[in-house]
A and B are shown apart, each in its own frame.
Chain A
Amino acid sequence: MGLFNLFNKEKKEVLDQGLSKTKESVFSKLTRAVAGKSKIDDEVLDNLEEVLITSDVGVETTLRIIERIQKRVSRDKYLNADELNSILRDEISELLLENNSSTTSDFSDPLQETPYVIMVVGVNGVGKTTTIGKLAHQFSKAGKKVFLGAADTFRAAAVEQLVVWGERTQANVIKQKMGADPASVAYDTVSSAKANGADVVIIDTAGRLHNKVNLMNELTKIKNVIQKVVPNAPHEVLLVLDGSTGQNAFEQAKQFTKATDVSALAITKLDGTAKGGVVIGISDQFKIPVKYIGLGEGMDHLQVFDRKNFVNSLFEQ
């Protein structure tokens, strides 16, 4: 049994709690939409459109989903509210699943190589450092030796923040002075991790808006420097997206991918009222799997993303 097996009842409850706001509103609306109807008509589709758009799914993806549902309905001839709900669930899961193999990684699984280097990137304030703290906690708990690299040398007290997370999670934090070259911090961290036989290295980077060319180039540089120590590194480039972000998340995914070959996404703050529909759209458009979701500020509030479960939680009554 994996540590993050979402079918585990306790975990499932956390996810349900986090998503309960979503569930209620999506449901009441959809139920209203199909109440007393014997077939999918424009009104139902309009309501569906509203549900999806207000979940930040985005116009393009919403139109795609609706198209698929229309096709499906004309093929299968439904329908009552229950059937519509299950069709909807199917179609959205499929969008989420299409691009990725759904490997649920387990923190206690053996790593493909040590040190296994994860570089964490994203725009300002999305939850990079916190997510790193949560990951460090999980890896430590699974008996792995963790090194954290404080390569955000720009934002006030960013280093101190990571140091606190290091203390909380028994992870070593490698740091330099504020204002130091982030690539040099990353280099130090990976070298030191290698010399000390660490299992996992996680590099924190400063938040940066994806339209700032110099800052994006800096990321590429950090990535290249890491490779000098461990040729296959970074094994993972994790892009953190704030779950309450709207359509700009698409541009973020695009630009960060361009600069660093993002290999996985983490969606944070899904414990709020934000619907997290951005997950669906991005998973649909980019061939990058969503790997983690953040459901709070505590070190336990991280889960491995499971599409089926995510969609189920979204549409469960």
Chain B
Amino acid sequence: MFESLSERLERSFKILKGEGKITEINVAETLKDVRKALLDADVNFKTAKTFTETVKEKALGQQVLTALKPNQLMVKIVHDELAALMGGSSVDINLKGSPAVVLMSGLQGSGKTTFSGKLANFIKTKRGKRPLLVACDVYRPAAIEQLRVLGEQLAIPVYAEEGNNNPVKIAENAVKHAKQQGFDVVIVDTAGRLAVDEVMMTEIAAIKKALSPQEILFVVDSMTGQDAVNTAREFNERLDFDGVVLTKLDGDTRGGAALSIRSVVNKPIKFVGTGEKMDALDVFHPERMADRILGMGDIVSLVERAQEQFDEEEARRLSKKIAKNQFDFNDFVSQIQQVKKMGNLKDLASMIPGMGKALKDVEIDNDAFKGVEAIIASMTPAERSNPALINGSRKQRIAKGSGTTVVEVNRLLKQFDQMSKMMRMATTGKFGKKRRG
């Protein structure tokens, strides 16, 4: 256990020390990784490019004040930027109007009909309003029946006109019907359509014109690839929709389409679909989505924990003491405490890219510091601040007090000696770069 202690601490110290600030060089690799992560997540090529550029601009020259490496901080910056871009202030669905009209739009199979049912259920149960579902998909086999079944399950009325194949007329009639019957919200389900299908796009534009909906939602499959931008742009140009619904997030897709769409049309993501059942609807969480897209959640949480826990002042104080060769056992303990505060050692190590593997053979024991702390606790305050005092009889007393042996006490003293030398070298620049700031 003792053999690896100095190695462990050396590593932790390196992490704690950081590498100054973010420069072109120390983040080039990280930016590459981030870009690849975004592309693997289906973020659009151009979006990924501009996004990483922007982030780089923002990050360059930023001081790495905390207990981190620049590349780790970089990932965190990317994450926060992602979340900010997708989030902004959350916008609620607009249900003002009597009745309020909500129009669904999107590609084939994206989940419009299912979401229509979910939304109706949400409006009924969570908002206490009376929704009416309207079946305007006159093309897909059994589309009307599908909506009817959902309405039945939810005990929510469905308006349909068997035999009428004009969706604009059906929609108009439905709104009339809703007014007469005192429905609060009309949810119009439409057929799936391709953005390049001129006839179908004209049709949905006509529905919009006829109804002037309070809310037009663009329903998109979260597994969509690079094409998401084209589709979103086209639908937005034709409909100027109000919000996006991201479906099938219960899968394992990274969902980069969310970012692409946001960056192209700048419309809020209002809901997500998380299952086939009628209650599988959620509001959008930008933070979670950012984690998901980036796929580097481990690093992000490492950074957050480090930022939370690491005491900048304490680090400064220590590094001064080290430089003046005044590093003592009190500092040693405080150093251990810092490391421990950052959480489970093994967790911590495995969260650092490359580190997990490097440390694989080095058995990290979470109780690694127990013996050490016990030994130090058995020292007198004088011994702690001046380790040179510790002679043979003192060693025996300390060993007895800490339930260890003199051999172990000796080992710690030797380790400590090596460590303080090493630290001094590190901080005075004899190896590695001198710490700035």
Chain A interfacial positions (CB closer than 8 Å to B)? 21, 50, 53-56, 58-59, 123-127, 133, 154-158, 160-161, 163-165, 168, 178, 207, 209-212, 242, 244-249, 251, 269, 271-275, 277-278, 297
Given contacts A211-B252, A244-B107, A246-B257, contact A56 B221 (CB under 8 A): no
Contacts of B231 in A (CB 8 A): 244, 272-273
A161 to B139, CA, bound (A): 11
The winner among A59, A125, A127, A247 for most chain B CB atoms within 10 A is A125
- Whether the Cβ atoms of B142 and A161 lie closer than 8 Å is yes
* Chain A residues, Cβ within 8 Å of B195: 272-273
B353 at the interface (CB under 8 A from A): no
Report Cα–Cα, A123/B71, bound state, in Å.
37
CA separation between A273 and B45, bound complex, in Å? 15
- Contact A242 B142, beta carbon cutoff 8 Å: no
| Bound complex: CA A125 to CA B40 (Å) | 22
Q: Given A21-B196, A157-B145, A164-B142, are A59 and B221 also a contact pair (CB < 8 Å)?
A: no
Q: A161-B142, A244-B107, A297-B108 are in contact. Are A154 and B42 (CB under 8 A)?
A: no
Interface size class of B (residues with CB under 8 A): 35 or more
Contact A124 B276 (CB under 8 A): yes
Q: Report B-chain residues with C-beta under 8 Å of the C-beta of A178.
A: 149
26 of the cross-chain contacts (CB-CB < 8 Å) are A21-B196, A53-B45, A56-B42, A123-B223, A124-B248, A125-B109, A126-B109, A156-B113, A161-B140, A161-B142, A161-B146, A209-B252, A210-B251, A242-B221, A245-B223, A245-B225, A247-B42, A248-B42, A248-B254, A249-B223, A251-B253, A273-B196, A273-B234, A274-B225, A297-B108, A297-B139
Say yes or no: is B230 at the interface (Cβ < 8 Å to chain A). Answer: yes
Q: Which of A56, A157, A211, A251 contacts B226 (CB 8 A)?
A: A56
B119–chain A nearest beta-carbon distance, Å: 15
Chain A nearest CB, measured from B392 CB (Å) = 64
Q: Are B250 and A157 in contact (CB under 8 A)?
A: no
In contact, B109 and A278 (Cβ under 8 angstroms):
no
Interface contact A242-B194, CB-CB below 8 Å:
no
Chain B nearest Cβ from A188, distance in angstroms: 21
Among residues 204 to 240 in chain B, which have CB atoms less than 8 Å away from a CB atom of chain A? 221, 223-228, 230-231, 234
Q: Is the CB of A50 within 8 A of B45?
A: yes
- The complex places the Cα of A212 from the Cα of B250 at a distance, in Å, of 9
Q: Are A272 and B227 in touch, CB under 8 angstroms?
A: yes
A251 pairs with B257, CB closer than 8 A: no
Q: Chain A interface secondary structure, helix, strand, loop or mixed?
A: loop
**The 10 A-B residue pairs with the shortest CB-CB distance in the complex, in nearest-first order:** A246-B225, A125-B109, A246-B42, A164-B141, A156-B149, A157-B146, A160-B142, A274-B227, A161-B142, A157-B145
Which residues on the B side are within 8 Å of A245 (C-beta)? 221, 223-225
Chain B's closest residue to A128 (CB) is B109
B40 touches A247 (CB 8 A): yes
Contacting A at CB under 8 A, from B176-223, are: 194-196, 221, 223
Q: How far is the CA of A69 from the CA of B260 in the complex (A)?
A: 29
A239 vs chain B, min Cβ distance (A): 14
Asked whether A209 and B141 contact (CB < 8 A) given A246-B226, A269-B108, A273-B196, the answer is: no
Let me know if B272 is at the binding interface, CB within 8 A.
no
CB distance from B295 to the nearest CB of A (A): 11
B interface residues with partner A (beta carbon < 8 Å):
36, 39-42, 44-46, 107-111, 113, 117, 139-143, 145-150, 153, 194-196, 221, 223-228, 230-231, 234, 248, 250-254, 256-257, 276
Chain B contacts of A211 at CB under 8 A? 250-252
The answer to whether A154 and B276 touch across the interface, beta carbons within 8 angstroms, is yes
Q: With a CB–CB cut-off of 8 A, which chain B residues contact A56?
A: 42, 225-227
A161 to B149, CA, bound (A): 13
Q: Is the CB of A209 within 8 A of B248?
A: yes
CB distance from B361 to the nearest CB of A (A): 30
Taken together as a complex, chains A and B put the C-alpha atoms of A251 and B109 apart, in Å, by 19
- Residue of B111, B142, B234, B257 touching A157 (CB-CB under 8 A): B142
Question: B44 contacts A165, CB within 8 Å?
Answer: no
In the complex, what distance in Å separates the CA atom of A21 from the CA atom of B146?
32
Tell me the complex Cα distance, A160–B254, Å: 33
The reply to whether B227 and A157 contact each other, CB–CB distance below 8 Å, is no
Chain A residues with CB under 8 Å of B44's CB are 54
User: A126-B109, A156-B117, A244-B227 are known contacts; what are 4 more A-B pairs with Cβ within 8 Å?
Assistant: A59-B40, A123-B223, A246-B257, A248-B42
Are A156's CB and B146's CB within 8 A? yes
B268 to chain A, nearest CB (A): 22
State which of B36, B147, B227 has its C-beta within 8 Å of the C-beta of A273: B227
Report the bound CA distance from A80 to B111 in whole Å.
46
Interface pair A242/B223, CB less than 8 Å apart = yes
A164 and B113 CA atoms in complex are apart in Å by: 18
CA distance A315 to B148 in the complex (A): 45
**A166 nearest CB neighbor, chain B only:** B141
Contact of B225 among A21, A124, A126, A244 (CB under 8 A): A244
Instruction: Say whether B251 contacts A247, CB under 8 Å.
Output: no
A156 touches which of B111, B140, B141, B150 (Cβ 8 Å): B150
The interface residues of chain B lying within 8 Å CB-to-CB of A278 are 225
Distance, CA A269 to CA B195, complexed state (A): 12
- Chain B residue, CB-CB nearest to A161: B142
A269 to B107 CA separation, bound complex (whole angstroms): 10
Is the Cβ of A272 less than 8 Å from the Cβ of B40? Answer: no
- Report the separation of the CA atoms of residues A212 and B275 in the bound assembly, to the nearest whole angstrom: 11
